[in-house]
C-alpha cells in the first residue's frame, strides 16, 4: 500500500482539472460582452512579414471608455495587417484608423445577439466540463492499474475514487460558477 502513488495521481488530476477551468475562463474572455476589453483581440493572429503573430506581440491596448478599444501598433507598418486581421475575425466590428492607432467602437449588443452569446459560452463551459471528466477517467484508469499491479488495496482504490469524485465535482462546480458570472455579464445591459 502506497499513499504517495494515490496522492500523485490525485494531484495530477487536480492540476489538469485546474488547467481545464483556466482554459475555459480564457475562452470566455474571447466572447464579446458589449464592453471593450483587450482579451477580445490580443490572441488574434496577424499576418506580419510572412508569419502569423498574435496581436498582443505587435501592439499595445488601451480602453479609454467602456465601448472603445484603442490598439497602438509598435510598428506603424503593421497597421494595415492588423486592420485586415480584425476585419477577417468574427468580431463583427469595423476598425477605424488615423494612421497612428486603430479604434474599435463596440456597439451595444442586441437582445438576440446576447442570447446567441450565452449559448456560445454554455457550449464552451460544457467543453471544459468534458475535459475535467476526461481527466477523471484517466486518473481512475491510473488508480485501477495501481490496484491491478498490487500497489494499492481495493479499499484504498475505493477511498481514492471517492476523493477523485470530490475533486471532479469541485472543478465542475467552478466551471459552473465562472459560466454563471459570464452569463450575468452578457445579459446585463
Residues of the chain with pLDDT under 50: 1
CATH 1.10.132.20 residue ranges in the chain? Answer: 3-29+110-187
CATH 3.30.1360.40 residue ranges in the chain? Answer: 38-105
Question: What local confidence, expressed as pLDDT, does residue 189 receive?
Answer: 60
Question: What local confidence, expressed as pLDDT, does residue 109 receive?
Answer: 79
Q: pTM for the complete prediction? A: 0.70
Q: Do residues 71 and 104 lie in contact, with contact meaning Cβ atoms separated by under 8 Å?
A: yes
Which H or E element spans position 21? Answer: helix 3-29
- Spatial distance between the Cα atoms of 89 and 96, rounded to a whole number of angstroms: 15
Fold classification of 3-29+110-187 is Topoisomerase I; Chain A, domain 4 (1.10.132)
Task: Record the cell numbers describing residue 106, joined without a space.
Answer: 463596440
Question: What local confidence, expressed as pLDDT, does residue 1 receive?
Answer: 43
Decide which of 3.30.70.930, 3.40.50.1360, 3.40.50.2300, 3.30.1360.40 is the CATH code for 38-105. 3.30.1360.40
Amino acid at each position: 500500500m502506497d499513499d504517495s502513488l494515490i496522492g500523485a495521481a490525485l494531484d495530477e488530476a487536480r492540476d489538469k482539472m485546474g488547467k481545464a477551468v483556466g482554459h475555459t475562463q480564457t475562452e470566455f474572455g474571447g466572447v464579446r460582452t458589449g464592453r471593450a476589453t483587450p482579451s477580445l483581440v490580443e490572441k488574434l493572429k496577424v499576418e506580419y512579414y510572412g508569419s502569423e503573430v498574435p496581436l498582443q506581440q505587435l501592439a499595445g491596448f488601451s480602453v479609454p471608455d467602456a465601448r472603445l478599444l484603442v490598439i497602438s501598433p509598435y510598428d506603424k507598418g503593421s497597421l494595415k495587417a492588423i486592420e485586415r486581421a480584425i476585419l477577417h475575425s468574427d468580431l463583427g466590428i469595423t476598425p477605424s484608423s488615423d494612421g497612428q492607432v486603430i479604434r474599435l467602437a463596440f456597439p451595444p449588443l442586441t437582445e438576440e445577439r446576447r442570447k446567441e452569446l450565452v449559448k456560445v459560452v454554455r457550449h464552451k463551459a460544457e467543453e471544459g466540463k468534458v475535459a475535467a471528466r476526461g481527466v477523471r477517467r484517466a486518473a481512475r484508469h491510473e488508480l485501477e492499474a495501481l490496484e491491478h499491479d498490487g500497489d494499492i488495496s481495493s479499499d484504498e482504490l475505493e477511498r481514492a475514487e471517492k476523493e477523485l469524485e470530490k475533486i471532479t465535482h469541485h472543478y465542475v462546480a467552478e466551471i459552473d460558477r465562472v459560466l454563471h458570472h459570464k452569463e450575468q455579464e452578457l445579459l446585463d445591459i
